[in-house]
Amino acid sequence: MPLLTVENLTATHGLLHAVRGVDLALAEGETLALVGANGAGKTTLLRTIAGAHRAALGRIRFDGADITLLPAHRRVPLGIALVPEGRRLFAGMTVAENLLVAEGRGRAGRWTMATVLDAFPQLRPKLKSRAGDLSGGQQQAAAIARALMSNPRLLLLDEVSLGLSPAAVEQLYVSLAALPAGGTTIVLVEQDLGRALGVADRVVCLLEGRITYEGRARETTRARVLEAYFGVSSALGAGADR
């Protein structure tokens, strides 16, 4: 049984249909990259899975249970954690306080202050610093670490590399690549296609709220994804896109 199933999901902003009839199934331990151009509906889909945005139509099942109508705060104890775009840390609180806030909200499990600091060692010397004083890369690490403190079975990551230096992105991805070994299932929104294809097991491309490509990352070429990104036929001939 898949850990997460999304069936015919539609999510709107007023009259705008940001997500249109999306079907997805995610196995436990899998990493799925969600790609697509600006405005394709990636953030809305992620927020709807997390319960931060209401589904207009369709169903979301998690571990077999229908969670479509559950509010976000009741999805966290089931094991769903969202790292939102822009990180949303408590800027005036210390890093340690940010992490501890999440501790009691989720499930018991392998992630504790000690183990998240092993996964994100760059946070160790910053525990007593105000979160708002950290660099962008450190803030992103703290946001992911905070989500892990709830011991999620499903980690939803929205644009973790946005606005970060290449070195900070590299450091984050080294940490992320080590996570699935801990059994975490991940949906990752990532603008950098190379990164997305490198870290994911499977790739889904959204265009105007609909899935235009789905495939195993290993078997997916940049050209094929870009074609799905823009909804145009590739000028390259079949088989010439590797």
Which residues contribute to the site for ligand ATP (CB under 6 A)? 13, 16, 18, 36, 38-44
Q: Smallest distance from the beta carbon of 191 to ligand ATP, in angstroms?
A: 7
Nearest to 29, CA basis, from 152, 119, 148 = 152
Query: CA-to-CA distance for 110 and 68, rounded, in angstroms?
Result: 27
Q: Smallest distance from the beta carbon of 143 to ligand ATP, in angstroms?
A: 16
Q: Smallest distance from the beta carbon of 80 to ligand ATP, in angstroms?
A: 18
Q: Which of 22, 131 has the CB closer to ligand ATP?
A: 22
Q: Which of 30, 159 has the CB closer to ligand ATP?
A: 159
Nearest to 222, CA basis, from 193, 199, 201, 191 = 193
Query: CA-to-CA distance for 116 and 110, rounded, in angstroms?
Result: 9
Q: Which of 41, 79 has the CB closer to ligand ATP?
A: 41
Q: Smallest distance from the beta carbon of 219 to ligand ATP, in angstroms?
A: 24
Tokens 């940049």 belong to 222
Query: CA-to-CA distance for 156 and 78, rounded, in angstroms?
Result: 14
Query: CA-to-CA distance for 12 and 210, rounded, in angstroms?
Result: 13
Q: Smallest distance from the beta carbon of 1 to ligand ATP, in angstroms?
A: 28
Query: CA-to-CA distance for 120 and 118, rounded, in angstroms?
Result: 6
Q: Which of 18, 76 has the CB closer to ligand ATP?
A: 18
Q: Which of 109, 136 has the CB closer to ligand ATP?
A: 136
